[in-house]
Structure 1
Amino acid sequence: MSSTESPSVSAASVFPRAASVRVGEGERLRSVGLPGVTLSIRSRRPASQDLPPALYVHGLGGSSQNWSVLMAELDDVVHSEALDLPGFGDSPPPDDGNYSITGHARAVIRYLDAVGRGPVHLFGNSLGGAVTTRVAAARPDLVRTLTLVSPALPELRIQRAAAPTALLGVPGVAALFTRLTKEWTAEQRVGGVMALCYGDPSRVTSEAFQDAVEELERRLQLPYFWDAMARSARGIVNAYTLGGQHGLWRQAERVLAPTLLVYGGRDQLVGFRMAARAARAFRDSRLLSLPDAGHVAMMEYPEVVATAFRELLADTGESGTDTEGDVTDVTVPGAGS
């Protein structure tokens, strides 16, 4: 049963998205209204209707479009949906203005509960990695496997390039940054983001660059754009300072789902040195190291990430092989170079 047919969301508003939002070949967009939040959902038609569901969660400043290429790579093994977190992509802000890691995780859980798609193969990048870690720890019944690409888990010594993102969460800094950069073009902004997020920005095609420029131009017109960015950045910083059972590393230890960890050697935002700690924290983990990748390996090396995910499926209940407790470190030297 599709989510638009599900009785659990029949009372909520489900309607097509605006034509101004880019929809890739084979994709569709819809909006799902839930109590306190409305989420834009990007989906693909699966090769078979009996394939297990997958849900993808993007990072800070990103959108469901960040997963389009990887989703297409996995058409034959999962039924893919990617959501725009509240205040990002084509999703409006949450009614309560809560952009914390917990608030975003609550939105993901609310969606999965409403449409009844769980348990899903859950994917998260950066901020989305922290969010999905919290989801997997709090609601193991909703998660089959967990794939984390450069997850934003607490670091004692953050990357120097990540400092501006942390500062964005300081009250007033977003407004100051907006004034200081008001003359910047969308092309300049996108170029800066890609230089920060990609291990090799030259891998970005001219078409992909232009698509990103058009999407940014659209989102800069939204009155809540910078507020969503600043509050979500503050949410990451606050999550880094939490201890006890609510700490993200403690929650990582509670994750029961088989976990694929993907780290890039050229990541300027999440330290590559954190890969080993993550592999120890998640009890059933596999580590994919990509020396040439940056912060968004699923966009830079989608074929390699897709292959690693297929291997994760083969290692789990799909093949009947019990690998609980194992840590497999797969390093791909010069992937795609």
Structure 2
Amino acid sequence: MSRRRSARPAWWLRAGAAGLAVAGLGVAVARPEYVLEAEFARQRWLAGASETTFQVAGHRWAAVQAGPADAPLVLLVHGFTGSKENWLPMTRELARGHRVLAVDLPGWGDSERLAGGDYGPSAQAARLAEFIAALPQSPQLVVGHSMGGQIVGLMAARNPGIAPRLVLMSAAGVRFDENAFASAVLAGENPFQVTNRAELKRYLGIVFAEPPFVPWPASAALVSRRRADAEFEQRVLDGIGRGPEAFALEEELGAITAPSLLLWCRDDRVIDASAADVFAAGLRDSRTVLLNGCGHMPMMAQPRQVADTLAGFLR
């Protein structure tokens, strides 16, 4: 009798675990987005970050924040097809001594997108200037990655003194030694297009020197998001990569007064590292840091090294 009683809890535990597994699989199949959101929640927890929103420049902005409230504020701006979540691995390191705020630009991620809205670089630069002006704490450092670097640069050129220091990370907006990515953009293509899992794998191979493995069903959720944004991405890419505003920043670099850090990976297959030389030639006050062993996403590939570099530049 005693053996039967001791066996019953184990049976129920096994049955319960199996039931949870089946239920979890059902959720994953029906709503893969839930799995992706759970992963983002896990990353926020690891970074000690929380979600927040702002209503500025006619849009609702979604953001994540972390770090001591009285520490110097670092504002992070993502790139083309990116999001605030791109910064979470680095936020885990940087937020130990800084207040970190990573935003989804209007039109992207969880921020508001208005039908017929202009989400080109100049319009976004103007919105970002309004956003910074509305913050209760002025950022001591504004970091822009890729398209975000182009937007941050235009904002700084047109609003002198808006930020004490800038970081332009793998930034767009200037000419560079043409690579396969640039050739495709100039030909009217979107090399970042993702409408299926094969294109997701190709995309990751472009932006990472060592592409991460994205398991199902998170991969299905990412593909679904990117497929829904395909038309929007194409319109934005027309503006940042090949329209009349594509190289406006290059012409305005001399108007940027803030000391600027140019941060690149040597193996960037999107914005070739030769772009850093163009920025350095046009800026009044800049320094360049080139990292080894990473591609277009240094803040994800080498979060600790990038966080240390930003903290050192801010000091």
Indicate the TM-score class for this superposition, using the shorter chain for normalisation. Answer: 0.7 to 0.9
> 1:270 Cα shift?
0.9
Give the structure with the higher percent helix: 2
Q: 2:121 aligns with which of 91, 98, 101?
A: 101
Question: 2:150 aligned to 130, 136, 139, which one?
Answer: 130
Residue 271 of structure 1 corresponds to which residue in structure 2? 272
Paired residue secondary structure (2:202): helix
Report the alpha carbon displacement of residue 74 of structure 1 after superposing the two structures with TM: 0.8
Residues matched between the structures, number:
274
**Deviation of the 1:141 alpha carbon:** 2.9
Unaligned runs of 5+ in 1: 1-17, 315-337
Query: Percent of pairs identical after alignment?
Result: 25
Residue of structure 2 aligned with 1:238, choices 234, 243, 248: 243
Tell me which residue corresponds to 1:255: 256
**Alignment match, 2:219:** 213
CA distance in 2: counterparts of 1:305 and 1:212, whole angstroms: 26
Deviates more, 1:230-239 or 1:127-136: 230-239
The one-letter code sitting in structure 1 at the alignment partner of 2:64 is R
**Pair 1:39 & 2:44 matched:** no
Contact 2:174 2:278 in 1 (8 A): no
CA contact (8 A) 2:176 2:274 kept: no
Deviation at 1:157, TM superposition (A): 4.7
**Partner SS state of residue 55, structure 2:** strand
Please identify the structure whose Cα radius of gyration is greater. Answer: 2
Q: CA deviation at 1:130?
A: 0.2
1:58–1:126 contact (8 Å) kept in structure 2:
yes
CA distance in 2, matches of 1:264, 1:86: 27
> Who is 1:12 aligned against?
none
Report how far residue 42 of structure 1 moved: 1.4
Q: Secondary structure at the match of 1:193?
A: helix
**CA distance, structure 2, for counterparts of residue 90 and residue 295 of structure 1:** 23
Aligned partners of 2:200 and 2:223 also within 8 Å: no
CA spacing shift, 1:88–1:241, aligned 2, 3 Å: closer
| Distance verdict in 2 for CA 1:64–1:108, change over 3 Å | same
Distance 2:199 2:59 in 1: 29
2:232 to 228, 232, 241: 228
> What is the Cα-based RMSD across aligned positions, in Å?
2.7
Matched residue, 2:11:
none
- Report the AA paired with residue 229 of structure 1: E
- 1:191 matched to which residue of 2? 201
- Answer yes or no: is 1:67 the counterpart of 2:87: yes
Separation of aligned partners in 1, 2:238 and 2:164: 30
Q: What SS class does the counterpart of residue 98 from structure 1 fall into?
A: coil
SS at match of 1:262: strand
Q: Which runs of 5 or more structure 2 residues have no equivalent in the other structure?
A: 1-32
2:303 maps to 1:302: yes
Inter-partner Cα distance in structure 2 for 1:121 and 1:211:
36
Report if the CA contact (8 A) 2:76-2:143 is conserved. yes
Normalization by structure 1: what TM-score? Answer: 0.73
Range with greater deviation from structure 2 (58-67 or 147-156)? 147-156
Return the offset for 1:271: 1.4
2:264 partner SS: strand
Alignment of 1:25-36 (within 5 A): 25=45, 26-36=48-58
Q: State the match for 2:100 in structure 1.
A: 80
Distance change in 2, residues 1:39/1:210 (3 Å): farther
**Structure 1 match to 2:18:** none
In the alignment, which residue of structure 1 is the partner of 2:17?
none
Give the superposition deviation at 1:305: 1.4
State the alpha-carbon separation in 1 of the partners of residues 97 and 217 from structure 2.
27
Q: Distance in 1 between matches of 2:215 and 2:78?
A: 18
Task: Tell me the distance in 2 between the aligned counterparts of 1:192 and 1:101.
Answer: 26
Tell me how far 1:61 sits from its aligned partner: 0.5
Distance 2:262 2:87 in 1: 16
TM value normalised by structure 2: 0.77
CA contact (8 A) 2:161 2:257 kept: no
Residue 52 of structure 1, aligned match among 58, 69, 72: 72
Structure 2: which amino acid aligns with 1:219? R
| Cα displacement (A) at 1:309 | 1.4
Q: In structure 1, what residue type is equivalent to 2:85?
A: Q
Q: Please give the alpha-carbon distance, in whole angstroms, between the structure 1 residues aligned to 2:103 and 2:298.
A: 18
Assess if the C-alpha contact under 8 Å between 2:121 and 2:245 holds in 1. Answer: no
Opposite residue 233 of structure 2, the aligned amino acid is: M
Q: Whole-Å Cα distance in 1 between the matches of residues 132 and 117 of structure 2?
A: 21
User: Cα offset for 1:158?
Assistant: 2.9
CA distance in 1, matches of 2:255, 2:218: 36
Shift of 1:76: 2.6
CA contact under 8 A between 2:153 and 2:256: conserved in structure 1?
Answer: yes
